[in-house]
């Protein structure tokens, strides 16, 4: 099961992924304001969930604003690919540019590899390494529920921007075609911004392909 919260001036999608074990993963916490923080905490409390993982698909500022809050609230350090660390290191200066309130993200105890699996509760997530929007972007695929938490790789009718540091348009397109479009057509994609979509819809309608 998955719950979306849209946060911060970039309208970034924060996700809580949970199952009938009661354990949950918080993915890309973008909460900036107290109201945004409360909405996430209230959902977790009301559904009697236990946060056990904090995951970042990538580390652009809008996806990590809430890392420190989640650490303070639940004692979880973020996990992301080490190739994203430079983005975390430059986040304070990016926050100043955008006028965003940002508290320093804790550093991971464990970085995520390019491939493999993460498990929590009764859920298994496959790691899909798909850089192009950012230097070391990961997507998280729940095969059992056939859902992909895709970050800023693939959106409804478009793809992630590649004009930021570490961006590479040709690489992004290649990774979508070779790693995401091989997933089932009815796989639901939950992107970092905007509404969900499906792999099949994007293969048929996305103007970049």
Domain that holds residue 52: 2-205
- pLDDT, residue 169, reads 98
Taking the chain (209 residues) in consecutive chunks of 10 residues, what is each chunk's mean pLDDT?
98 98 98 98 98 98 98 98 98 94 96 98 98 98 98 98 94 98 98 98 98
- pLDDT, residue 9, reads 96
The 10s digit of each residue's pLDDT in 165-192 is: 889 999 999 999 999 999 999 999 999 9
- pLDDT, residue 166, reads 86
pLDDT, averaged across the chain: 97
% of the chain with per-residue pLDDT over 70:
100
Task: Classify 93 as helix, strand or coil.
Answer: helix
Dihedral Cα 159, 160, 165, 171, nearest 10 deg: -40
Write the CATH number for 196.
3.60.15.10
| Domain count for the chain | 1
- pLDDT, residue 171, reads 98
- As a three-state string, the secondary structure of 17-81 is EECCCCEEEEECCCCCCHHHHHHHHHHHHHCCCEEEEEECCCCCHHHHCCHHHHHHHHCCCEECC
Tell me the whole-structure pTM to 2 decimals.
Answer: 0.98
- pLDDT, residue 101, reads 92
CB 55 within 8 A of CB 118: yes
- pLDDT, residue 52, reads 98
């Amino acid at each position: 099961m998955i719950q979306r919260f849209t946060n911060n001036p970039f309208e970034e999608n924060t996700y809580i992924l949970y199952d009938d074990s009661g354990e949950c993963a918080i993915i890309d916490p973008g909460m900036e304001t107290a109201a945004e923080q409360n909405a996430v905490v209230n959902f977790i409390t009301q559904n009697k969930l236990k946060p056990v993982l904090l995951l970042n698909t990538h580390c652009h500022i809008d996806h990590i604003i809430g890392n420190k809050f989640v650490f303070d609230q639940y004692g979880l350090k973020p996990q992301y690919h080490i190739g994203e660390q430079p983005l975390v290191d430059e986040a304070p200066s990016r926050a100043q540019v955008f006028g965003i309130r940002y508290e320093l993200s804790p550093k991971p105890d464990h970085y995520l590899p390019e491939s493999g699996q993460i498990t929590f509760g009764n859920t298994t997530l496959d790691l899909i390494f798909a850089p192009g929007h950012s230097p070391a972007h990961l997507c998280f695929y729940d095969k059992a529920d056939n859902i992909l938490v895709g970050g800023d790789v693939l959106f409804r009718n478009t793809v992630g921007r590649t004009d930021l540091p570490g961006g590479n348009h040709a690489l992004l397109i290649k990774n979508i075609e070779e790693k995401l479009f091989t997933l089932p057509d009815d796989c639901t994609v939950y992107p970092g911004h905007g509404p969900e979509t499906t792999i099949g819809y994007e293969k048929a309608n996305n103007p970049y392909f």
